[in-house]
Amino acid sequence: MEIDGQDCFSEKRSEISEGLHKANTSMAIEIIVEFLKNKVIARILFLARRNVPSHWLGFTQHLQLLAVNSSVIRSSKHITPDSLLQLTSETRRVMSRACKTISQKDFHAVLCTGTLVSSPCQSHGISNSSLWLPIDLFLEDVMDGSQVAATSAVETLISLVKALQAVNGTTWHATFLGLWIAALRLVQRERDPSEGPVPRLDTCLCMLLSITTLAVTNIVEEEESELLEETERSPTNQRTEKQAMGQRRKELITSLQLLGDYEGLLTPPQSVSSAANQAAAKAMMFISGLTVGNGYYECVSVNDMPVNCNGNMRHLIVEACIARTLLDTSAYFWPGYVSACTNQAPRNMPTQLAGWSSLMKGSSLTPSMVNALIATPASSLAEIEKIYEIAVNGSDDEKITAANILCGASLNRGWSIQEHTCLFIIKLLAPPVPADYSGSDSHLISYAPFFNVLLVGISSIDCVQIFSLHGLVPLLAGALMPICEVFGSSVPNISWTLTTGEELSCHAVFSNAFTLLLRSWRFDHPPLENMMGDLPTMASQRSLEYLLLVRNSRLASRTTRDRLKSKRISKFLNFSVEPVIMESFPKLKLWYQQHLKCICSTLSGLVLGTPVHQIVDALLNMMFRKINRSSQPTTSGSSTSSVSGNDETYIRLKVPAWDILEATPFVLDAALTACAHGRLSPRELATGLKDLADYLPATLATIVSYFSAEVTRGIWKPAYMNGTDWPSPAANLSTVEQQIKKILATTGVDVPSLLVGGSAPATLPLPLAALISLTITYKLDKASERALTFIGPALNSLANGCPWPCMPIIASLWAQKVKRWSDFLVFSASQTVFHHNSDAVVQLLKACFTSTLGLGSSNINCNGGLGGLLGHGFGSHYVGGISPVAPGFLFLRVHRSVRDVILLAEEIVSLLMLSVREIANCGLPREKVDKLRKTKYGMRYGQVSFAAAMSRIKLAASLGASLVWISGGPTLVQSVIKEILPSWFISAHGSEQEGRESGGMVAMLGGYALAYFAVLCGAFAWGVDSLSPASKRRPMILGAHLDFLASALDGKISLGCDWATWRAYVLGFVSLMVGCMRKWVLEVDLDVLKRLSKGLRQWNEEELAVALLGIGGVGSMGAAAELIVESEF
């Protein structure tokens, strides 16, 4: 009975507990609902969602489980499962409104509260394409052959595209479309370039079909990798065999479908029209159901193509994307993608495949197949890996054949495997020591013929630029240094007979490797430029140490992002992470030190009777053995050697190349001194220099560096280019002058006269005259191409640094020799106008702004935009003669010669503010604007909204930020953010009165322009995320700038600018940072954020103040919550 009583009591107790549990559960749910409905609490909860997403995810998942499984909710009269889940989604909506910024449409909406006095021309030239102006400028800038970058254009392009997508607030399909169009515009500008020693169409196509495609691939895969990681972390993770398609991939497809509407940009250059037709035929045959392999397209002729199967650049882009697995063959079914009828099969199907398909089927390398493999790019990584295996494991002849194939079309136009081809070539240039090798000489010696094929194969201007675009120059330099060290230290006692019958010596291999190494370093810039302390730091980025530093750090610091990319890299490509240092190459280091010493001071230290002195004498005898005169001593301040004509003393030197290079400066000093004193004629000097360069082509490096240093020192008398002693430019100098004036016609820059001193002959510094005379002795043929490719840019750089009119004189001399280079040479000469005249640079900058914005132009057809800024590039092929060059194109070719880039940035800020005023007045004179305001209908004259004005102001800011970033990189951006802008705000400006007379509108627009300018500068230099190495510098610079803003808001700093400008700048900068650069805020010190937020509240900008603290991380959540409660949002 007692037990039964206890059971009964337990049952009642259980019923009571269950009732209390339900009541408590119901009450808890009601409290949660009240929390979610309460505006203040909901905003505080939003802080958790923003700053501790993992905790918020756990909270929402528990709510979902509660909504699905709770019987209390199902039986509740006040809340249903759907309404509870709706409240969580409503919280997100409410909270996103709390963090509304003045970015993009909202930014314009804030401004659209009035009108500006303007003319109907206000919107000329402004289109969606102008949003991507920085991409066009970047792509055109990297085409400049005078610069070999150590970092990958892919990484820079990724950062740039992501920054513009964030700031412009565009969809990804619009962003991708803008990127494709910008790259296509680059190809169209270069489709028929003027001839000259500069990168040409192959580099442009690499940028479009390889670099741009790789950038898009990384952007798409970045999102899908993040989605995959989120799925793996999720407790409800359900693994699937196929990864879901990310949103960016879908929008990429949309962009490529829309690209078909831009027919004017899709016409392929003549040299790739066949490849475009093959791509279109491939799609047509796939739709027709014909299954043919890639081998068919290698064999098919134009006559076998289906009728009307005309391909364009979109077909090549789509094929590049399919090769990168960004698309699949469903793209062939897009409307309008294939123009031919699907029942048009080719008339003749090849019965026997040649080329890559035959190779993959196991066929041996026959001469016909090798020719096909060299002329046709590989279409897959497997094919290029097959060639690499032959290059490693084949016979000596097969290795050389494989090297020729790698340096053929697969390198130049194998866009889907181009970076792999480059990496395989680098890998082959650094073979490991065989396990059974026991020789006393380096194992590299036996690779001489193989190395020579590779070195010659990648020596063209386009090939070097392709390595540069892929960011592989540091890795290439690391592979070239051991070759230079070994072959430069070898005595040329042995030689190899090539298949052409030529004899190959270790001197030849050394020269090819050494000159290629120096081209990757770009040592050919004038010595004065290398010693400049102004920004950007030239010496640090143009040295062998810098290349090795980049190489070592890149291999040693492989990030998670790099590992994600590794799935696309061949299994054969594994590079040692061991650092490479200059001390490992004593001979190279000794030459490098001598090179630097030659730049800094005159020669000294040659001791009679030493081995170096003996080599100097032998070289001089070799160079001037044909001179029919007795031996005459030639003495300079640094060396004492004889210039002798005794043939019996001439013996072919059998000494290492490094020893010859050590003696060469003394040889040049003696020869130049003899010429200066009349003991050696200019013709004899040029012939002797040519003999020296023919004997050891690597001496061209010393010739360039020595003559450049001597020109800089200015101790030699001028050479009179009179046609008797030295060649004369008189025959076409006046024509060159007129062509230069025509090229610069759009800039408003005055061209100094070339005919200085009446009838007196033109003069050049003696070392420069010697160098130009040497180059003229070369024939423009295949044999001399490598020498001219090496020495040409050096001559151009040296002449640009000399007084006017040295470069036009050189252009005149060379144009007489090579008429087809005439346009290129005259264009190079026109750039010299800006090298010595800072006023001309400022005028050029002004022309960039006015042409882009369509302001202040006398040409009624100038509508601004990209067409006004970049035009059609340069060349006489468009209009049948030399034509004016667009100012933006000119600036991209001369900005590297501007030494005072700080002044350049200051001028850009001033021109930006001037552009704001001109936009407000539509470029009209102030007197005319005042008169229009006073007329009866003045205020109706072309009224437009602030949104229209802001679109132009954004374009001006985008142009200014692009020019700053391109001119000086992150270092100059740092100076702009930390020094130039704060100084501008502190200083008084005479134009402020005009802003006040306009009701403060101009001042306010100026503040917004500076805000866009500053944010874009930072975004270009540091990126929007923390993936790039440059982003590591961002916290310090950004923190200092925000501290300046906070201090000024606190009243600790007195400002000289208009208050409306200051307010607009602060609101614009913070709004863009909150809306577009949220990761930036996470890096800012909490105290600075609090002070900045306090200042915003004083301006009644509580919403922006909360938004700023709300994304500042966990540490700022408390302060944000306090502000939310105090403000009772």
Query: Is 602 within 8 Å of 638 (Cβ atoms)?
Result: yes
Q: Say if residue 468's pLDDT is above 50.
A: yes
Q: Say if residue 121's pLDDT is above 70.
A: no
Closest CA to 941 of 97, 120, 30, 2: 120
pLDDT digit string, tens, across residues 350-367: 444 568 988 998 888 899
User: If you average pLDDT over residues 698-726, what whole number do you get?
Assistant: 91
pLDDT at 104: 42
As a whole number of angstroms, the distance between CA 902 and CA 179 comes to 30
pLDDT at 192: 72
pLDDT digit string, tens, across residues 86-119: 666 644 444 443 344 444 444 444 433 333 333 3
Confidence of residue 289 (pLDDT cuts 50, 70, 90): confident
Q: Say if residue 878's pLDDT is above 60.
A: no
Q: Which 3 state secondary structure label does DSSP give 373? A: helix
Q: Say if residue 858's pLDDT is above 70.
A: no
First to last CA, the chain: 64
User: If you average pLDDT over residues 23-50, what whole number do you get?
Assistant: 75
> Which residues face 623 on adjacent strands?
none
pLDDT digit string, tens, across residues 20-30: 877 787 787 77
660 vs 155, 618, 650, CA distance in Å? 41, 10, 15
Q: Say if residue 122's pLDDT is above 70.
A: no
pLDDT at 564: 47
Residue at token pair 């975004």: 1019
- ω into residue 432 within 30 of 0, thus cis? no
Query: Is 1084 within 8 Å of 1063 (Cβ atoms)?
Result: no
pLDDT at 1001: 82
Q: Say if residue 661's pLDDT is above 80.
A: yes
Residue at token pair 């990429």: 252
pLDDT digit string, tens, across residues 421-431: 999 999 999 99
* Residue 475, Cβ density class (10 Å: 0-12 exposed, 13-18 middle, ≥19 buried): buried
> Which residues face 762 on adjacent strands?
721
Q: Which 3 state secondary structure label does DSSP give 169? A: coil
Across 23-37, 149-163, 765-779, least confident range: 23-37
Pull the structure tokens for residue 872: 């059609």
Pull the structure tokens for residue 1044: 């300046």
Pull the structure tokens for residue 762: 């033109």
As a whole number of angstroms, the distance between CA 858 and CA 35 comes to 65
Q: Is 601 left (phi over 0), alpha (psi -120 to 50) or beta?
A: beta
Pull the structure tokens for residue 952: 């132009």
As a whole number of angstroms, the distance between CA 864 and CA 853 comes to 5
Instruction: Tell me the residue type at 244.
Output: A
User: If you average pLDDT over residues 31-39, what whole number do you get?
Assistant: 75
Closest CA to 903 of 959, 1005, 979: 979
Residue ranges with strand state E in 406-518: 495-497, 503-505
As a whole number of angstroms, the distance between CA 675 and CA 684 comes to 9
Confidence of residue 10 (pLDDT cuts 50, 70, 90): low
pLDDT at 101: 40
Pull the structure tokens for residue 1029: 């190495």
Phi, psi of 17 (to 5 degrees): -60, -40
Query: Is 354 within 8 Å of 298 (Cβ atoms)?
Result: yes
pLDDT at 557: 73
DSSP string computed for 271-282 = GGHHHHHHHHHH
**Beta 718-721 vs 503-505: how paired, if at all?**
unpaired
Pull the structure tokens for residue 790: 């090496």
As a whole number of angstroms, the distance between CA 324 and CA 216 comes to 10
The C-alpha angle 994, 995, 1001, rounded to 5 degrees, equals 145
pLDDT at 208: 96
No. of H helices and E strands in the chain? 55, 8
HEC-encoded secondary structure of 327-365:
CCHHHHHCCCCCCCCCCCCCCCCCCCCCCHHHHHCCCCC
As a whole number of angstroms, the distance between CA 262 and CA 574 comes to 42
pLDDT at 511: 96
Residue ranges with strand state E in 916-1036: 944-945
Greatest mean pLDDT range, 289-298, 695-704, 856-865, 869-878: 695-704
Confidence of residue 652 (pLDDT cuts 50, 70, 90): low
Query: Is 1048 within 8 Å of 1094 (Cβ atoms)?
Result: no
> Which residues face 643 on adjacent strands?
632
Q: Say if residue 928's pLDDT is above 60.
A: no
Tell me which DSSP letter residue 241 carries.
Answer: S
Q: Say if residue 658's pLDDT is above 70.
A: yes
pLDDT digit string, tens, across residues 448-463: 999 999 999 999 989 9
As a whole number of angstroms, the distance between CA 1113 and CA 51 comes to 5
pLDDT at 597: 84
Across 752-766, 882-896, 1100-1114, least confident range: 752-766
The C-alpha angle 828, 741, 721, rounded to 5 degrees, equals 60
pLDDT at 61: 76
Pull the structure tokens for residue 780: 């423009």
**Beta 718-721 vs 632-635: how paired, if at all?**
unpaired
Confidence of residue 616 (pLDDT cuts 50, 70, 90): very high
pLDDT digit string, tens, across residues 784-813: 888 888 888 888 888 888 888 899 999 999
The number of residues in the chain equals 1129
827 vs 10, 792, 874, 963, CA distance in Å? 101, 15, 8, 21
The C-alpha angle 469, 470, 475, rounded to 5 degrees, equals 115
Query: Is 696 within 8 Å of 507 (Cβ atoms)?
Result: yes
pLDDT digit string, tens, across residues 169-191: 999 999 999 999 999 999 998 87
Q: Which 3 state secondary structure label does DSSP give 923? A: coil
User: If you average pLDDT over residues 368-397, what whole number do you get?
Assistant: 94
As a whole number of angstroms, the distance between CA 1008 and CA 417 comes to 45
Chain mean pLDDT for the chain: 81
Closest CA to 929 of 939, 125, 956, 1001: 939
Long-range contacts of residues 841-846, Cβ cutoff 8 Å, at least 24 apart? 841/894, 841/898, 841/904, 841/907, 842/907, 843/747, 843/748, 843/749, 844/747, 844/749, 844/887, 844/890, 844/891, 844/894, 845/891, 845/904, 845/907, 845/908, 845/911, 845/963, 846/748, 846/911
Closest CA to 862 of 268, 277, 121, 241: 121
